[in-house]
Copies of this chain bind each other. A is one copy, B any other.
Amino acid sequence: MSVLITGSVALDSVKTPLEEHHELMGGSASYASMAASFFTPVNMVGIVGSDFPKKYFELYRQHGINLDGLQVADGPTFRWSGEYEWDLNKRRTLSVCLNVFETFQPGLPEAYKATPYVLLANISPQLQMHVLAQVSGPKFVVADTMDLWIEKQRDALVELLRHIDCLILNESEAREFTQQTNLIKAGRQILKLGPKFVVVKKGEHGSLLFGNDMFFSAPAYPLEDIHDPTGAGDCFAGGFTGYLARKDRIDPNTLRNAVIHGSVIASYCVEDFSLTRLESLTQPEIKERYDLFQVMSRFEMS
């Protein structure tokens, strides 16, 4: 089954204490679509400016990403720049130029409207809702969000939660959104707002999956060298939703495997800047790391 993915497409400038790179392919839809493409065909929805490098269109196409819904507008592409501290969990946004993204109100291509799986990658909840409203009877809808929308568009986010099957957000966002210091309470509280499932991403501590009658705690891959954490959350969401679309079933074990596959893609993503590592990622490498996730979390009654 194919997956429709909407979100931002950006040119990023990223600075870490050791390296600095400019005009990198970035944005939530770029990361999420590349991640999902390892599992299933992707229908991408987004907007770029006339300055978006041709090589990036090629890269998407090589990964089986349908670009009929990627609008090319006059003007410059959305640009984001950020800086990480030595503790790579700490990020500072240096600048955001929305450019062509500012007035983006996508109309879906006809062929996209019956896509059974939908990932509303991180953009404003109003835009997420605008896209979702055009999809007819999707089987499973996942949305990602961030602190900005929790703070600035809370009502729209709460409204969105009534229309999706799974919300993905990170640890601090879950606490901020619910005003709960206890993460377990926070996850369960979000379930009551509508979605059947909630995934709380905890970075180096793995992730938690909450359902009304299930709970899954996934480890993080023990990475010693993280080069650029940008896009890890988007890759998680893309890998998670792409895996569900490939399996085309929603049961507890498939959801758990989706969490692990999302974590696997994210763990590769951060090994290099932008989507560089994913460009050369292979299916055997995905399988190899999946097996390691299993080995490192397994114990048998002795």
Contacts and interface: CB of A to CB of B under 8 A. Distances in A.
B253 A299 contact: yes
B217 A219 contact: yes
A180 to B, nearest CB: 10
B183 A204 contact: yes
Interface string A280-299: 00000000001000101111
Interface string A40-63: 000000000000000000000000
Copies in the complex: 2
Interface string A206-226: 101000000111111011101
A226 B184 CA distance: 11
A217 B174 CA distance: 23
B220 A257 contact: no
A257 B302 contact: yes
Contacts of A226: 182
Given A182-B226, A204-B183, A302-B254, A215 B247 contact: no
A113 interface: no
B86 A302 contact: no
B222 A253 contact: no
A86 B299 contact: no
Contacts of A182: 204, 223-224, 226
A299 B257 contact: yes
Contacts of A206: 205, 217, 219
B247 A216 contact: no
A18 interface: no
A202 interface: yes
B257 A301 contact: yes
A91 to B, nearest CB: 13
Interface string A143-185: 0000000000000000000000000000000000000011111
Chain B CB count within 10 A is highest, among A216, A217, A296, A300, for A217
Nearest to A206: B217
The 8 closest A-B pairs by CB, nearest first: A217-B219, A256-B299, A205-B205, A87-B181, A184-B222, A184-B224, A297-B297, A217-B296
